[in-house]
A and B are shown apart, each in its own frame.
Chain A
Amino acid sequence: DSGVTQTPKHLITATGQRVTLRCSPRSGDLSVYWYQQSLDQGLQFLIQYYNGEERAKGNILERFSAQQFPDLHSELNLSSLELGDSALYFCASSGQGSNEKLFFGSGTQLSVL
C-alpha cells in the first residue's frame, strides 16, 4: 500500500460528459502529480501541484483541469469526454523537499462509451 488513495477505482460514462477523479496523497506529502496511461501512449505526465499551487504542466488537454485543496487532496476534472479519454489515471505524491520518490495510487480506470 503506497498510502495514496484514489477514488473511484472504476468509472464508466458517456461521451460529452464530465467526471471528477479524486486523490488523497500520503500523509504529509505536499506534491500531487497526475498521470494518464492509455494503451497506445504509455504513462503520460499531466500536471503537478505543490501545496495548492500548480507547479508543472505536461500534456494536459484544455478540457482537463485539476486543483489541490487546502487539505492537500486533489481533483482532476475531465469534461466533454471523448472515446480517446478512456485510460487509467494515476495520482502520485511526494514529500516536502524531496522529489526523489513518487508514490503512486492504484489508479482510476475511466471508460468512455
Chain B
Amino acid sequence: DAKTTQPTSMDCAEGRAANLPCNHSTISGNEYVYWYRQIHSQGPQYIIHGLKNNETNEMASLIITEDRKSSTLILPHATLRDTAVYYCIVRVPFNDYKLSFGAGTTVTVRA
C-alpha cells in the first residue's frame, strides 16, 4: 500500500465546510483513494472513493489533485454528528482485499 499522511487533528465550526487533506505522494496508477470515518468506538463507515476525477455523493466531496499526490475530503456543512476520526486510504480494489488504516485525522466539530 502507498502510505498516506494526514494531520493528527482539526477543528471545524458547525455549519461550515470541513476540508480534510491527505497526502499520498507515492500512489501508483491503479490505486484508488478511499475515505472512511469512525465515530467514537463504532465500526468504520465508508464515505467516498475515487481514482482521479473529483467525486461527490450525499455525504461528501473528494477532490484529487491532477498529479494524484494529494486529495481533500470536503464535508460541506459539518454537524456535531460529523465529529469522528477520518481515515484516508489508498488501495487497489479487486486486488488488495484489506483496508490498511493509519492513524487518521480526529475532526472535532464545535457548536
Which residues of A pack against B, CB within 8 Å? 2, 4, 31, 33, 42-43, 45, 48, 50, 55-56, 58, 88, 90, 92, 97-107, 109
Contact = CB atoms under 8 A, between A and B. Distances in A.
Contacts, number: 56
Interface size range on B against A: 20 to 34
A51 to B, nearest CB: 13
Interface SS of A by simple majority: strand
Interface stretch (B15-23, B59-67, B69-77, B91-99): B91-99
Interface in B97-111: 97-103
Contacts of A90: 43-44
Interface of B: 32, 38, 41-46, 49, 87, 93-103
Contacts of A31: 97
Given A42-B103, A101-B46, A102-B46, A55 B41 contact: no
Which of B32, B98, B103 has the most C-beta atoms of chain A within 10 angstroms of its own C-beta? B98
B43 A100 contact: no
A99 B46 contact: no
30 contacts: A2-B43, A2-B45, A4-B43, A31-B97, A33-B97, A33-B98, A33-B99, A42-B101, A43-B44, A43-B101, A45-B98, A45-B99, A45-B100, A48-B98, A55-B97, A58-B98, A90-B43, A92-B44, A98-B93, A99-B93, A99-B96, A99-B97, A100-B32, A100-B49, A100-B93, A101-B46, A102-B44, A103-B46, A107-B41, A107-B43
